[in-house]
């Protein structure tokens, strides 16, 4: 087409010129799309699998107890196979000698009242009876007002367990169910 334009008359040339321009304008945008795709493909696939797995592996439990001699929860639920990270916060102000708190987890088959009676005598080990060590699933240390303690243990077999504070006189008001699903 371009070769023939020069040899034609001005009018014909103009006509062909516009035709040619029209043709070129239509084809001109074509190269642009070829560049854009090369910039985008790096971004997709971000790995999202790690966070849910970490959450499922550790059950973080927080129990609060103050000078009113109560746990703020009466039921704790974890899943079989989880690691349990249990934190006990003493939100009160009283000394642990008069208002000490702990968390002791025992099998549901055990009688809480009888266990507490044995525990009260364990004055040398902050009311954790050595004679029942095999039965105790887990326990924190005894803490006083303003203190906090955290223990980690593997969740026992699925089932229902009990938790209580073994400080003398506390078990009746401070107990609950520890469920492993
Ligand atoms: Cu207590």
Report domain extents, the chain.
2-39, 50-180
Q: How far is the CA of 172 from the centre of ligand 1 (A)?
A: 10
Q: How far is the CA of 166 from the centre of ligand 1 (A)?
A: 6
How far out from the chain centre does Cα 106 lie? 25
Q: How far is the CA of 115 from the centre of ligand 1 (A)?
A: 15
**pLDDT tens for residues 65-117?**
999 999 999 999 999 999 999 999 999 999 999 999 999 999 999 999 999 99
Three-state DSSP at 81 gives coil
Q: How far is the CA of 120 from the centre of ligand 1 (A)?
A: 12
Query: Following CA atoms 7, 12, 15, 17 in sequence, which dihedral angle do they give, to the nearest 10 degrees?
Result: 10
Would you say the pTM of this structure is higher than 0.85?
Answer: no
Answer whether residue 46 shows pLDDT above 80: no
Q: Vertex 72, ends 71 and 77: CA angle to 5°?
A: 95
Backbone phi, then psi, for 88, in 5-degree steps? -110, 125
Give the right CATH number for 50-180 from 3.30.1490.20, 2.60.40.420, 1.10.4190.10, 3.40.50.150: 2.60.40.420
% residues pLDDT > 90 (the chain): 69
Q: How far is the CA of 129 from the centre of ligand 1 (A)?
A: 15
Answer whether residue 146 shows pLDDT above 50: yes
Cβ pair 95, 120 in contact under 8 A = no
Q: Lowest-pLDDT range, 37-51, 78-92, 113-127, 130-144? A: 37-51
Side by side, which strands form the sheet with 58-65? Answer: 58-65, 83-90, 148-154
């Amino acid at each position: 087409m371009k070769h023939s334009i020069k040899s034609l008359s001005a009018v014909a040339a103009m006509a062909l010129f516009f035709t040619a321009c029209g043709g070129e304008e239509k084809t001109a945008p074509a190269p642009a799309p070829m560049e854009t795709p090369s910039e985008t493909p790096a971004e997709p696939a971000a790995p999202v699998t790690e966070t849910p797995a970490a959450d499922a592996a550790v059950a973080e439990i927080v129990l609060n107890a103050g000078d009113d001699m109560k746990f703020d929860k009466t039921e704790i639920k974890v899943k079989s196979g989880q690691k349990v990270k249990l934190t006990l916060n003493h939100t009160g102000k009283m000394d642990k000698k008069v208002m000490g708190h702990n968390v002791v987890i025992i099998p549901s088959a055990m009688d809480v009242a009888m266990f507490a009676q044995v525990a009260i005598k364990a004055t040398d080990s902050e009311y954790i009876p050595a004679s029942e060590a095999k039965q105790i699933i887990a326990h924190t240390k005894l803490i006083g007002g303003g203190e906090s303690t955290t223990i980690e243990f593997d969740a026992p077999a699925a089932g229902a367990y009990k938790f209580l504070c073994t400080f003398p006189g506390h078990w009746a008001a401070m107990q609950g169910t520890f469920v492993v699903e």
